[in-house]
């Protein structure tokens, strides 16, 4: 399916100047950023202590509730929960970040290539993305993990291979939205005058990409990367909960939640084993989602729903009109090319 017209511009370069102040105004996003930074700092800085402590078994002290000595209590083997939570956080966040990074790299590469190449190549590449979108991704993650974990074990050792294959597998199936967004943006940027000027001046294709396109892509990439991290973390926690993600004795928040779930029964209740890991996991995911939303608002106010509100709370009719018109245009363009708009309203599904 060839395309001659461009898909609508998603992110206007002129908005750039307003991004950081716009983000700062969103107090929820800023608070989440602070919280996330605190958690990441705690996990990383405490690694020197949490790694040895997380495997320190004292069977006599198994399942003790939180005390001054053991602020979060101990688990069924007497290991301190604070160390397991911190190390688990490091691993979960690490997997989430690494998976998001991989998906950014693959997605950007794919999308940019498709957008720059145009024509047939573009159509085929995007059709593949469409196909992959319809696949049950968790099945693929599980299969990839099982198929390749053994081979990595020989190289990295069992524990490292476990973590590596997990973020490789999750990253390998999470790049689809990124590819679409990047492609849309590249297509619209490609038609801008400054790119034409660069081409006329003799800049090579790669040069155009690195020097002209990429700086303008950073916005949407950042937004979607921030939204991919919680998705990846959720997937990892699902897999660990099912027992096929991070293997014990390595902790991860999903693992700890699974262990904690068994701790709730009418015989021997150990509420701290499920409350702390679940709270940490949920709070981190929440803050990541808020930050992602804040970034998206800052980069493209048409998504937020708050954009037509003035600081004093009254409605800015003119801006509301403009935003509606822009969104309607996006939708119309999608239909023109036999697609339906995706749920985010920024492009075609």
Partner 1 sequence: MAKYVVTVVVAALALTWLLAGAAVKHPRADFVFVNRGTIATLDPAAMSWMQDIRLALTVWEGLYSYHPVTTEPIPATSLPAQVSPDGRTYTFRIRPEARWSNGDPVTAHDFAYAWRRAVEPGTSADYAFFFNLIDGVEAYVAWRYENVERISRLPANQRFAERDMHLREADPRWQSVGISVIDAKTLRVTLKRPVAYFLDLCAFSIFLPVHRQSIERFKVVGDTGLIYYDEQWTKPYNTHFNGPFVMTEWLFRRSIKLERNPHYWDRQAVKLSTIQMLDVEDANTAWLMYSAGAVDWLSSLDMDYAPELIRRSGSPLPGALNGPNSRRGATPTRRDIHAFPAFGTYFYNFNCEPKLPDGTDNPWHDRRVRQAFALAVDKQQLVDRVIRRGNLPADTFIPPRSIPNYPAVEGLGCDPVRARELLAQAGWTDMSNFPIVEVLFNTGFNHGQIAEAICKMWETNLGVRTAIRGIEVKLFREDKKNARYVVCRASWYGDYGDPTTFLEMFQSENGNNDSHFRDRTFDDMLDEAERQPTPDMWPNSPWPSDSWSTKPCRCCHSTTTSTSSRWTPIASPICTLPRG
Partner 2 sequence: MIRRIGSRLVQAPLILWAVYTIAFVMVVSVPGNPFEHEGGRNLSPVIEMGLRQRYGMEDNWQFYWRYLTGLLHGDLGQSLHYRDWTCNQIVRHSLPVSAALGSLALLIALFAGVGLGVIGAVRRHTVWDYLTLGVAVVGISVPTFVIGAGLLILLAVWVRLFPPGGWGTPAQLVLPAVTLALPFMAYIARLTRLGMIDVLSSDFLRTARAKGLSESQVVLKHALRVAFLPVLSFLGPAAAAVLTGSFVIEKVFNVPGLGLHFVNGVINRDQMLILAAVTVYAGLIVLFNLLVDIAYTWLDPRISAEAI
Q: Six-digit token pair at 283?
A: 């709070």
155 binds partner 1 per the rule CB under 8 A? no
Closest approach of partner 2 to the CB of residue 223, in Å: 16
Q: Using an 8 Å Cβ cutoff, are 102 and 171 in contact?
A: yes
Enter the tokens of residue 23: 């983000």
Q: Give the range of 4-12, 86-94, 109-117, 339-347 binding partner 2 by CB under 8 A.
A: 339-347
Contact track, partner 1, 206-245, x by CB under 8 A: -------------------------------------x--
Distance between CA atoms of 67 and 54, rounded to whole angstroms? Answer: 17
Asked if 258 contacts 240 with a C-beta cutoff of 8 angstroms, the reply is: yes
Tokens representing 267 are 């015989």
Phi, psi of 281 (to 5 degrees): -60, -50
Should residue 261 be labelled a site residue for partner 2 when binding is judged by CB under 8 A?
yes
Instruction: Tell me: does residue 65 bind partner 1 (CB under 8 A).
Output: no
Residue 90 Cβ, how far from partner 1 at the closest point, in Å?
20
Closest CB to partner 1 among residues 115, 260? 260
Binding mask of the shown chain, residues 251 to 280, with x at each position contacting partner 1 by CB under 8 A:
----------xxx-xxxx------------
Q: Kindly determine how many residues on this chain lie close enough to bind partner 2 according to the rule CB under 8 A.
A: 62
Give Cα 321 distance to the centre of its chain: 32
Q: Distance (Å, rounded) from C-alpha 193 to C-alpha 191?
A: 6
**Chosen residue from 248, 306, 328, 340 binding partner 1 by CB under 8 A:** 248
What is the nearest approach in angstroms of partner 2 to the Cβ of residue 61? Answer: 25
Nearer to partner 1, 62 or 234 (CB): 62
Q: Which does 323 bind (CB under 5 to 8 A by kind): partner 1, partner 2, none?
A: partner 2
User: Using the 8-state DSSP alphabet, how is residue 302 labeled?
Assistant: G
Is 156 among the residues that bind partner 2 (CB under 8 A)? no
| Position among 13, 38, 160, 349 found at the interface with partner 2 (CB under 8 A) | 349
Q: Compute the least distance from the CB of residue 52 to partner 2, in Å.
A: 28
How far CA 113 is from CA of 106, 116, 151, in Å, comes to: 10, 5, 31
Q: Which residues pair with residue 341 across a beta bridge?
A: 348
25 binds partner 1 (CB under 8 A): no
* DSSP notation for 312-333: TS-B-HHHHHHHHHHHHHHHHH
3-state SS, residue 162: helix
Residue carrying structure tokens 């619209």: 188
Check: CB of residue 176 under 8 Å from CB of residue 129.
yes
Beta strands in the chain (DSSP E): none
CB 170 within 8 A of CB 228: no
List the single partner that 77 binds among partner 1, partner 2, none, CB under 5 to 8 Å by kind: partner 1
Residue 343 is classified by DSSP as T
Residues at the contact surface with partner 2, assessed by CB under 8 A: 131, 133-140, 142-144, 146-148, 150, 230, 234, 237-238, 241-244, 254, 257-258, 260-261, 264-266, 274, 278, 281-282, 285-286, 288-290, 303, 305, 313, 315, 317, 320, 323-324, 327, 331-332, 335-336, 338, 340-345, 349
């Amino acid at each position: 399916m060839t395309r001659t017209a461009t898909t609508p511009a998603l992110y206007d370069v002129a908005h750039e100047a307003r991004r950081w102040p716009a983000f700062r105004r969103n107090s929820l996003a800023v608070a989440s950023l602070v919280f996330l930074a605190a958690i990441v700092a705690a996990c990383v800085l405490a690694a020197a202590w949490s790694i040895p402590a997380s495997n320190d078994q004292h069977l006599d002290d198994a399942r003790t509730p939180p005390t001054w000595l053991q602020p979060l209590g101990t688990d069924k083997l007497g290991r301190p929960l604070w160390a397991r939570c911190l190390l688990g956080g490091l691993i979960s966040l690490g997997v989430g970040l690494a998976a998001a990074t991989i998906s950014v790299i693959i997605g950007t590469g794919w999308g940019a290539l498709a957008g720059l190449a145009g024509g047939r190549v573009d159509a085929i590449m995007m059709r593949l993305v469409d196909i992959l979108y319809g696949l049950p991704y968790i099945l693929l993650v599980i299969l990839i993990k099982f198929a390749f974990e053994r081979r990595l074990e020989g190289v990295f050792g069992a524990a490292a291979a476990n973590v590596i294959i997990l973020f490789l597998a999750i990253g390998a199936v999470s790049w689809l939205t990124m590819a679409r967004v990047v492609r849309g943006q590249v297509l619209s940027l490609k038609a801008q005058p400054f790119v034409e000027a660069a081409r006329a001046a003799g800049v090579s294709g790669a040069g155009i990409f690195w020097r002209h396109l990429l700086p303008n892509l950073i916005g949407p990439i950042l937004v979607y990367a921030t939204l991919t991290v919680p998705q990846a973390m959720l997937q990892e926690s699902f897999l660990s909960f099912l027992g096929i993600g991070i293997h014990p004795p390595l902790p991860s928040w999903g693992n700890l939640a699974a262990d904690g779930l068994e701790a709730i029964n009418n015989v021997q209740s150990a509420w701290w084993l499920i409350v702390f890991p679940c709270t940490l996991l949920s709070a981190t995911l929440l803050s990541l989602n808020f930050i992602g939303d804040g970034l998206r608002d800052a980069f493209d106010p048409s998504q937020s729903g708050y954009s037509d509100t003035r600081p004093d709370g009254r409605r800015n009719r003119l801006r509301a009109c403009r935003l509606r018109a822009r969104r309607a245009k996006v939708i119309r363009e999608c239909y023109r090319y036999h697609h339906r708009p995706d749920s985010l309203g920024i492009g075609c599904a």
